[in-house]
């Protein structure tokens, strides 16, 4: 009997972990992860920037291939590199909220503290650009009840992904590219990062892939036909 109880407890714990760790679960907070469309459009999204070295290279490549993207920026990094945020907007890309500090412990925050992370992360960008971001992506894709309440209180739209590239792991560029190719389809949202040593090299391979497969890279707000900023 004890082992049955143990298995039940283990199953419940596993379900709770999945609900929190999977951005696609939608248990605590609904996220837009994939658009329903037959058009050959996909959204390339970049987390954790802006980065002094890699973001300019990423922007140059996007410009060369005439591709649009969405950058989920960290407020503290925006303060350090405001000129890069201006360049992102000037090139026609979209900005999203990725919290103020991207603290790994933020999943343990209270509702009010996470609310502050979101509010002040957005405030940094608003003071710089005059735009209040409506799009949000949780760091590490983790959600829970306090995060959900904070997001809803601020009226933000949570953006997930359908293709997790795993570019932050040790898979290597070729294997990451194969993951992206495998998940590529109309309406896909691809998770990338513009802070990694080979962000630009991976992106160029992705852009070549999209070109070969006749896909157009658009911003998240265009893909889902939603507003990126408060009016």
9 three-state secondary structure: helix
Element (H, E) at 190: strand 189-193
Q: Which of 47, 48, 194, 200 is catalytic?
A: 47
Q: What residues are paired with 45 via a beta bridge?
A: 70, 191
Give residue for tokens 């696609």.
Answer: 24
Q: Which of 193, 194, 200, 221 is catalytic?
A: 193
Ramachandran area for residue 157 (φ above 0: left; ψ -120 to 50: alpha; else beta): beta
Cis amide bond preceding 90, omega within 30: no
Q: Is 47 considered catalytic here?
A: yes
Q: Is 193 considered catalytic here?
A: yes
Continuous H helices in 22-144: 54-64, 75-80, 82-90, 111-129
Residues with catalytic roles: 47, 193
């Amino acid at each position: 009997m004890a082992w049955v109880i143990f298995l039940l407890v283990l199953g419940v714990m596993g379900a709770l972990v999945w609900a929190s760790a999977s951005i696609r679960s939608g248990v605590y907070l609904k996220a837009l992860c994939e658009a329903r469309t037959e058009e050959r459009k996909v959204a390339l999204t970049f987390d954790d920037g802006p980065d002094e070295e890699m973001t300019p290279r990423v922007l140059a490549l996007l410009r060369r291939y005439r591709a649009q993207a969405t950058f989920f920026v960290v407020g503290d990094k925006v303060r350090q590199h405001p000129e890069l945020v201006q360049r992102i907007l000037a090139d026609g890309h979209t900005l999203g909220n990725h919290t103020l500090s991207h603290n790994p412990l933020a999943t343990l925050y209270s509702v009010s503290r996470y609310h502050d992370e979101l509010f002040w992360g957005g405030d940094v960008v608003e003071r710089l650009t005059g735009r209040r971001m409506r799009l949000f992506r949780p760091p590490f894709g983790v959600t829970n009840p306090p995060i959900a309440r904070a997001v809803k209180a601020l009226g933000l739209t949570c953006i997930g992904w359908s293709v997790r590239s795993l570019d932050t792991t040790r898979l290597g560029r070729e294997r990451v590219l194969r993951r992206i190719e495998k998940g590529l389809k109309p309406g896909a949202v691809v998770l990338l990062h513009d802070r990694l040593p080979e962000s630009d090299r991976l992106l160029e391979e992705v852009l070549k892939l999209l070109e070969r497969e006749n896909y157009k890279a658009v911003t998240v707000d265009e893909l889902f036909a939603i507003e990126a900023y408060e009016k």
